[in-house]
Structure 1
Amino acid sequence: MNNALVEVDGHRLRLSNLDKVLYPEAGFTKSEVLDYYARIAPILLPHLKDRPLTLKRYPNGVAGKSFFEKNVSRHAPDWVRTVCIETPGSSRGSDKADYALVQNLATLVWVANLAGLELHIPQWTVGPRGARRDPDLLVFDLDPGPPATIVECCEVALLLRDELAEDGIEAYPKTSGSKGMQLYSPVRVSTAERTREYAKDLAERLARAMPELVVSRMAKDLRPHKVFIDWSQNNTQKTTVAPYSLRAQPVPTVSTPLLWDEVAECQTADDLVFTADTVLDRVAEHGDLFEPLLAEDRMQL
């Protein structure tokens, strides 16, 4: 069966090209992508709620061409909630875009049917009328410069965790699903720039203290053998990959929340590679390790 008409939460959706292989190395098809997102939805949806979605679409699979999509497709169903957000400096020359808000399972299935494998979201939400709120998440994106791997990222993550703890901030780690990882903390701020300023200061401090391991500047020639702490991901114009999102790797890896014990015990890069099937098993065992990011009670930054 290559196409199907389904009903999801009272909405009818036509699913197409279900047999198309989107991950050739693993033989992972579009129907399996849809199945993963449908099964992870109870855990994933709270992390997407009210966050304007940037899709990375792979209509011909991970080996084919891809593109980011902010503006909602003109063929979007009328029940997909959208929000108009300013996009200064857009490469397409547009100063605004209509973003989808993935508020329910039907919208998530619609997104997956577009071969929107990767889900990217900002560190802030919008209100009921679409107004942008101040950031509620602090993020540190750890990017290893070869030959460094996620093993070195774990070392830096532990240092960041301890520094944050001194400020009374608890951090939660996840893999990027690619080569690096991220740390998140739920926070409250008084200005939209506060998370970026705080993250930059901490990244620069660690780079000065451990110059052989950490770099806080974006220049690529500084990164070999080190871990780049990308504090700029707290810029309100930027997004990071959502927890539990698939990634466009040779196999269907997932951006996966971690236990701190797993971070501390990581010996090889393969230790922290998780695919769609293993992530579903992890959720069955551990629940949502990122659930604290959804709490209303947040540390004032």
Structure 2
Amino acid sequence: MLYFYQQVLNGLHSGALYALLAFGYVLTNGILHRTNLAYGALFAFCGHTMILTAAFGYQALWLTLFASVALGIVAALLYAVLISQVLSRSVFERLADRSPNAIVVTTLGILLFLSEASRIAADTHDLWLPPMLAQPVIFAQDSRFKVTLTVIQLLDCAAVIAVVALAAWLFSHSRFGRAWRAVSDDPKAAAMCGVDVRAVFRRAVLYSGFCAAFAGLLAGFYYGNISFGTGLVYGLKILFVTAVGGYMSPLKAALGAAAFGMAESLWAGYFPIEWRDGWIYLFLVAMLVLIGAGRDQAKVA
């Protein structure tokens, strides 16, 4: 029983990262209705930028570890703003009315560019942050086993819960949230009612970029390293999870992604981990097929 309890706690942490990513992903795709493969790359790029900048500040500028990490955080957030602006103004707005494949191909190119930029900047080396706040907190124990989470895991979970809860509340009660729902439902009708569709879309992409960057920072703090190919893996998982849950509610997408993270953790604890991603993707594809079949039957009825 304690072993199961440990896997549940592990799933809370991984699920928190997925939840934050899914919340941000839906902010853009709920309006765009196009697949954005660059989102996972932005997550990995910002986390990797934080690590590279922290290493530069510590080794070249002789800053303290705290100051180096703070410099890395600032650099990652600035890059998130810059990339989000480029995506919204130069990519999404120009390709929104064209074939969905145009945005898929373009964002795939951006993913490759960001991944290669990270790899070249690091000279194809993995840089690691020193363990931070890695002290275990014991939740339960017996003579043979202890159920623990580290301090950084607890802080990550608390930060994600606070950010998602606050963002969901603001989304439900703010003018931007109402405008986002109107644009997501029918942008032309929203424009006729006086909604600035372009401004809403740009703000949505910016907030989405901040979610990706924040998730990248939390992952970097916990794991100590984010590899160059991480963005593609996380991006595909979030894409499938949000496709199953729909793009109309960022909070529902976040809750579904948290459940996905829990399922991953439980699989890793009880079944061969090398088959984890394969079975998870198979399950998500099956869910998409069933949902699509249900919608077709509803239309016929």
Instruction: Please tell me the TM-score bracket, short chain as reference.
Output: under 0.3
Larger radius of gyration: 2
Give TM-score, length-normalised by structure 2. 0.27
* Structure (1 or 2) with the greater strand fraction: 1
Give TM-score, length-normalised by structure 1. 0.27
* Structure (1 or 2) with the greater helix fraction: 2
